[in-house]
Structure 1
Amino acid sequence: MIILIAGDTHTGKTNLAQKLLEHFKIPYLSIDHLKMGVNRSGNSVLTPESDDDALTEKLWPIVREMVKTCIENNQSLIVEGCYIPFDWKKDFSEEEKKSISYLCLIFCRAYLEKNFEQIRKYENIIERRQYSELSLPDMLHSNEKGLQNCIEYRLDHILIDNKYEVFPLAVASIEKQLKDRT
């Protein structure tokens, strides 16, 4: 089983991956770790501050092939990060897609407007951020864009609109996706 967890910055992808690791006993890969490894190794001109599209273009082919290798070897992995493209399905065969569950975390406008400072408070809950140029207008725009893309590509997502209770919804979504395939 492969679980892809996508979403905008600060939506809790890494925290959710950690909880899913504990629940399903499946290791996870943070694409941010891969990004930092590529950057620190000197194998890329991109930096952590590079445009998300440029980072996706560089990192997704590597992650995609790691996922395919796991599927070929019947291994499970949770992959989380901002750099999973919304059109990810085009990169996998129908058979491969049967092994993949996808979930995108999205904040709704009202939640962001009400809880922006709280979101900032928890930004280092799993990983320390060396920099954070988080702004409410940017988050409003990118989460709305993410929701539109999930609808366009018919992707499972959790819309965080009242309370931040992602874990039970994520487990239910993943289990439903697995059940629907059998």
Structure 2
Amino acid sequence: MIYVISGTSRSGKTMMANKILEEKKIPYMSLDWLVMGFTNGIPEYGIHDKLFPDEIAKKFWSFLKGMCENMIWTDKDYVLEGEAVLPELISELTEKYPDRIRVCFVGYTDIDIEKKVEDVKRYSTGENDWLSNKNDEYISNHITNMVEHSKMIMKDCKDYNLKYFDTSKDFIPTLNRAIDYLFECQD
């Protein structure tokens, strides 16, 4: 089974993937790593980390789709997490392989921007965190953009019959519900 966790920046995707790794022993790959591979390794493809998430997802889709189909074919459990997925695109695979891929999206549509900025700074993973050296205004603008992106994802999930979890309130319990959803009827 391929488990895809997507959504907006700072919504809990990596936390979910790490918990699944720890509890279920299913490895994960961050799509951010792949995007940075394109950014730094083959910039001529035009896929880079300075694009908005939906732009990355659209440019990245043919590669990601081929990779997912190969992963499904190999019949190994794996988690893919990252922003570089859109409901309108991944729905193609969920329809084609309903018993081999599980997908959920996470985001936040109704948050206090200032509190989220504080949380981003408090829970930063250190110097390797790309937002760790940014000022409050930069982080606030990023979070504001991600609220709008979350609203788009939430709407698209409804349109494509995919599950969306809003982490605006009850952050950790909501992430746990999303993980439970991914593994429903599979234990």
| Residues 1:54 and 2:43 are matched in the alignment | no
Q: CA–CA distance in 1 between the matches of 2:178 and 2:54?
A: 26
Ranges in structure 1 where 5+ consecutive residues have no aligned partner: none
Cα RMSD for the two superposed structures: 2.4
Aligned CA distance change for structure 1 residues 79 and 177 (closer, same or farther; 3 Å): farther
Q: Structure 2: how far apart are the matches of 1:123 and 1:75?
A: 32
- Contact 1:101–1:177 (Cα < 8 Å) also in 2: no
Q: Kindly state the Cα deviation for residue 17 of structure 1 after the two structures are TM-superposed.
A: 0.9
Residue pairs, 1:58-73, within 5 angstroms: 58-73=59-74
Superposed CA deviations along residues 150-175 of structure 1, whole A, max 9, x for unmatched, are 11212112122422114421232112
In the TM superposition, what whole-angstrom CA distance separates every residue of 1:78-118 from its partner, at most 9, and x where no partner exists?
Answer: 00111112121224553x22111111112131x34463223
* Counterpart position of 1:89: 91
Q: Which amino acid aligns with 2:51?
A: S
- Mapping for residues 86-165 of structure 1, pairs under 5 Å: 86-87=87-88, 88-91=90-93, 94=96, 96-109=97-110, 111-113=111-113, 115-122=115-122, 124-125=124-125, 128-129=129-130, 133-134=138-139, 135=141, 136-165=143-172
Instruction: Report what 2:184 is aligned to.
Output: 176
Segments of 5+ residues of structure 2 without an aligned counterpart are none
Aligned residues: 177
> Which deviates more, 134-143 or 81-90?
134-143
Q: CA deviation at 1:38?
A: 1.1
Q: Any conservation in 2 of the 1:39–1:48 contact (CA below 8 Å)?
A: yes
Partner secondary structure for residue 84 of structure 2? coil
CA distance in 2, matches of 1:93, 1:155: 11
Identity among equivalent positions (%) equals 19
Say whether the 8 Å CA contact 2:35–2:47 is kept in structure 1.
no
Q: 1:73 to 1:128 in 2, by over 3 A?
A: same
**Shift in alpha-carbon separation, 1:124–1:52, aligned structure 2, 3 A:** same
Structure 2 length-normalised TM:
0.81
SS of 1:176's partner is: coil
SS of the residue aligned with 1:97?
coil
TM-score, length basis structure 1 = 0.83
Give the deviation of 1:42 after TM superposition.
Answer: 3.0
What's the offset of the Cα at 1:53?
Answer: 3.2
Per-residue CA deviations over 1:35-69 (Å, capped at 9, x if unaligned) read 10111113433431123333212322222212111
Q: 1: distance between equivalents of 2:68 and 2:21?
A: 16
Equivalent in the alignment of 2:26: 26
| Distance in 2 between residues matched to 1:6 and 1:35, nearest whole Å | 14
SS in 1 for 2:105: strand
